[in-house]
Chain A
Amino acid sequence: MKDPYTHEQFSEKLRPLLEVMAGEGIQNAVKGLSQMTGQQITVTEPEVTLVPLVNIPDLLGGPENEAVGVYLRAEGEMSGQIMLVFPYERALKLVDLLIDEPEGTTQHLGAYERSALAEVGNLTGSFFLNSVATMLGLEARPTPPAVMVDMVAAILDVIIATAAGVSEHVLMLSATFMQGDREAEASFWVIPDPRVLEAFLEGKN
């Protein structure tokens, strides 16, 4: 199978479309997260990049760094993968925020803490998808989220294994959440399935 997106197609056609889409989608996701936490959470301007698969394990500071990944898939006409990745220590602090305890209270991630983080993935993913689906008039349903606590590279293998059969790159929409002036260091990644991008290109030519 031919690599579905070349650099040329990406920079000329896809990028501007996706930037608009990602911008609105992520703003909507962050609105949901602010409501959930009762805190004013903001988000950096989302970046749309074409990332070589081989570079993915090194993207978040190093392949062995301890991290938490919340993963869900979008199913329907607009299928793809959504992954929220937090450095481990930051995930503990986020749980404190979610369960309204002072920072430093949560020391490990048990079933309860993991389900709180799953809810963050669920909510940001759903808000993102709703916004983008409405914009494009396409259908998208989020799957229930899965929470992984492991080395960054092992977590990101999920995305790599899904994409590696069809492409040498993944198209990634990424943004960082902020709480006040503190960077929350949560990376929000959306990786549309290649067939969705093809449809996108054909429809918008």
Chain B
Amino acid sequence: MNNIVVGLGEVKISNNPNDILVAYGLGSCLGIAMYDPVTHVAGMVHAVLPSCDDTTEINEACSKYVCCGLEVLLQKMLHAGALRTRIVIRMAGGANMLASTTFSDVMNIGFRNIESSRRKLSEMKFKIAGEEVGGNIGRTVRFYVADGRMAIRMMGGKERDV
């Protein structure tokens, strides 16, 4: 198997069944994945912040934002041969790393990332097939191109499916 690292603000696509798209140690960041089960085109965005303003041009430079990242991811999926109506969504991350401290209310970017993602996906008419979001724990997210399975691992824990 071949790990393809999806770094901060990146969008990666693959249709090679030997590939795994990986985002390591997500805290407040979100790993949002799309999959076409027929063509086996898989993609993931590693989004950092909730939303850009409405004037932001959609290109890869803005994919650190959830809203823009999802648009870029969709474009790349379609370009690689995915069919929009078959796309399945899974996501993980969006933790509040500073939970139960004096910072939690003002700095809960994880929560805002999740909200922004749900809103944008709803606008795009996508349903979320599986998610593991929120809490106050970091997660490594793996997305298997062969079957569209998303698995997470937390510190000291074993990998399990979303």
Query: A: which residues have CB within 8 A of B?
Result: 53-54, 56-57, 63-64, 66, 71, 73, 143-144, 146, 148-158, 160-162, 164-165
Contact = CB atoms under 8 A, between A and B. Distances in A.
A143 B103 CA distance: 9
Contacts of A148: 97-98
B103 A155 contact: no
Contact of B24 (A149, A151, A158): A151
16 contacts: A54-B8, A57-B24, A63-B24, A63-B140, A143-B102, A146-B102, A150-B27, A150-B97, A150-B155, A153-B27, A155-B138, A157-B25, A157-B26, A157-B27, A160-B29, A164-B49
B103 A66 contact: no
A164 B29 CA distance: 11
B155 A151 contact: yes
A64 B49 contact: no
A143 B25 CA distance: 26
Contact of A165 (B49, B97, B139, B140): B49
Contacts, number: 91
A64 B140 contact: yes
Nearest first, the 6 A-B pairs at minimum CB distance are A154-B138, A153-B25, A157-B27, A154-B27, A151-B25, A63-B24
B51 to A, nearest CB: 10
Interface residues of B, number: 26
Given A146-B102, A157-B25, A165-B49, 18 more contacts: A54-B8, A63-B24, A63-B140, A64-B140, A71-B98, A143-B102, A146-B98, A146-B101, A149-B155, A150-B25, A151-B138, A152-B25, A153-B26, A154-B95, A158-B28, A158-B97, A160-B48, A161-B28
